[in-house]
Chain A
Amino acid sequence: MAAAAAALRSEWTKIRTVRSTVVTLAAAFVVTVGLSALLCLLTNHNFSEATRNATTPFDATATSFGGIILGQLAVIVFGVLVMGNEYSSGMIRLSLAAVPRRGVLLAAKASVVLVLALVVGLLTSFVSFLLGQALLGSHSTTLGAPHVLRAVLGAGFYMTLLCLFSVGVTAMLRNQTLSLGILMPFFFLVSPILSAVPKVKTVARYFPDTAGRAVISVYQPADAPYGPWTGLGICALWVVAALLGGWLVLDRRDA
């Protein structure tokens, strides 16, 4: 127990004393809020045009999270850095010499990331939502409207889960550059593209990001195979798998 508390303190020190981790986490907030605000502003000014071909009712909540597509990348980078810095610097050997029970180290990292990403994620989602609604003017919604609070909380949870997923993947790959090289293109290009391809789409729906983002929409697509919370649950399963894999690699392989 004492070892766990010590490891948590140490991980917090590691994160706050390196500029890159602090900057990426701040960027997640700034990018998401900024881009979402811009999207809301534009939507409000060109409302009829923007919603002309829509099949579902206008989702004011989801619109105010439009920036999450880019903001999530910063969250992913943060997760990769927290784990990958150990390998890129060689610090992992010092860390494991200090805490030979390797599960403790990974658990401490994941826990600190969980708390930080959750705080930043929820802050981001609430600010993004409130600012976005203010900019949407007459088309805005409120937290009291049906499903809106779920979506706002869900957006924070979603960012947290993606961050933890990155930690797990990096623990498996043990390489910062490789992890970024796989995760960034996947979430920015591969997943969105595959989600648009017929047939493949049905598989892509179960990718961590597509599944997790279901929770952000107030209105679900008519053909959705799962509900918003189930979607987030699928995303959480990915996270559990990635962290489990990371733990196995860390525990079994030579450091």
Chain B
Amino acid sequence: MIEARGLTKRYGPHTAVDQLTFQVRPGVVTGFLGPNGSGKSTTMRMILGLDDPTSGTVTIGGYPYRRLPNAGRTVGALLDAKAVHGGRSARSHLLSLAQLAGVPRQRVDHVLDVVGLRDVARRRAGEFSLGMGQRLGIAGALLGDPEVLLFDEPVNGLDPEGILWVRTLMKGLAAEGRTVFVSSHLMSEMALTADHLVVIGQGRLLADMGVREFLDRHSTGFARVRTPDGAGEQRRLLAKVLTDAGARTEPEPDGALKVSGLPLPRISDLAHQHDVRLHELSPHQASLEEAYMRLTQSEVTYRSGVPAAGAAEEPWGTAPHPYGTAPGGFGESEV
């Protein structure tokens, strides 16, 4: 169990982490999500006692990290895959870490097997690709067979097979009852890996909830409705009826209608009342990525000059933003 209370880190006038309070529970994968520069790595470093908080506390199992008994065997962390002396072999690197943490040296070969680096264990780590480096970093995190695991952007540089492997690994570790805290700036990745989400932007907590709940709350659904092909008047009639009933409609390039703001049964009933035949009526959910971008868009520190497509315009979004960012607000603040 990781517990942050009012965790704050300031560098001069810049506040990197601002009053973060959250818990990371054992048995589930908790995703730590935020745009680049939102304070994820700083938070990770404070959890590990590497950086001291300006105010607030963060504990693991009730202890601040620097007072944690057997820290090396209780907590495993991947912070930066490149944090390896390039001249040292993978095996020697892990051996020095194992010795430092008081872990039996047999664990070195074991974790090398787990991450699939056994064959290159004697090669210099400097010759490793980014993906192999990530695997070596993950091996280091697993060395002490720890109860608590922290991974900072573990899938960076991994190929699809590697990403799938990391995903399976995280879930497996959580299923064994461990506390798994994984940071990422990719919502799509977290949607597949995490059970719980802690979302931050500009160092502030934006959301702390289950992935399911996050989806329900932040991604508005829409329906795709298709009238018989070639019956243009039917489609125009349906669009008018639905708009009158309070829905927002938008024609799609393939002739279907994108409808938001009305439940599916109601759309079906209205079509029936007006004698419009439907060839398709299907529920859709706006992608999690879009929901995430909407949530963090006002918080992005390093914002690109061009508004991201899908975040700027929001043709089907109806629900007012729960954190006060009105739909379309991104575009306004941008110019």
Contacts and interface: CB of A to CB of B under 8 A. Distances in A.
B45 A254 contact: yes
B52 interface: yes
Nearest to A17: B92
Interface in B76-104: 77, 79-80, 82-89, 92-93, 95-102
A10 B97 contact: yes
Interface string A94-124: 1111111110000000000000000000000
Interface stretch (B67-75, B299-307, B323-331): B67-75
A18 B72 contact: no
Q: Helix, strand, loop or mixed for chain B's interface?
A: mixed
Interface string A5-19: 011011101100111
Q: How large is the interface on A (under 10, 10 to 19, 20 to 34, 35 or more residues)?
A: 20 to 34
Contacts, number: 94
Interface stretch (A84-92, A179-187, A212-220, A222-230): A84-92
A98 B72 contact: yes
A100 B71 contact: yes
Given A90-B82, A100-B65, A10 B45 contact: no
B80 A93 contact: yes
Nearest to B76: A97
B100 A6 contact: yes
Interface in B92-141: 92-93, 95-102, 140
A98 B100 contact: yes
B308 interface: no
Contact of A255 (B51, B71, B82): B51
Contact of A13 (B48, B65, B99): B99
Contacts of A93: 45, 48, 50, 79-80, 83
Q: How large is the interface on B (under 10, 10 to 19, 20 to 34, 35 or more residues)?
A: 35 or more
Contact of A254 (B52, B98, B101): B52
Contacts of A20: 87
A237 interface: no
A90 B8 CA distance: 24
A91 B75 contact: no
A137 B7 CA distance: 73
Greatest chain A CB density within 10 A among B65, B77, B86, B102 is at B102
A190 interface: no
Interface string A233-255: 00000000000000000000011
A19 B100 contact: no
B101 A6 contact: yes
A196 interface: no
A145 interface: no
A2 interface: yes
B172 interface: no
A11 B98 CA distance: 11
A3 interface: yes
A243 to B, nearest CB: 20
A94 B87 contact: no
A88 to B, nearest CB: 8
B321 interface: no
Nearest to B81: A90
B49 interface: yes
A102 B87 CA distance: 24
B85 A89 contact: yes
B51 A254 contact: yes
A97 B80 CA distance: 13
A101 B85 CA distance: 22
B83 A100 contact: no
B10 to A, nearest CB: 12
Nearest to B70: A3
Contacts of B77: 94, 97
B96 A10 contact: yes
A134 to B, nearest CB: 38
Contact of B96 (A14, A96, A255): A14
B66 interface: yes
B83 to A, nearest CB: 3
A98 B96 CA distance: 10
A94 B101 CA distance: 10
A2 B73 CA distance: 13
A246 B66 CA distance: 18
Contacts of A101: 66
A249 B100 CA distance: 21
15 contacts: A3-B102, A6-B102, A9-B99, A13-B95, A14-B96, A18-B88, A19-B87, A89-B84, A93-B48, A93-B80, A94-B77, A94-B97, A100-B49, A100-B67, A101-B66
Given A93-B83, A95-B100, A101-B66, 9 more contacts: A3-B102, A10-B96, A14-B96, A17-B88, A20-B87, A93-B45, A98-B101, A100-B71, A254-B45
Interface of B: 45, 48-52, 65-68, 71-72, 75, 77, 79-80, 82-89, 92-93, 95-102, 140
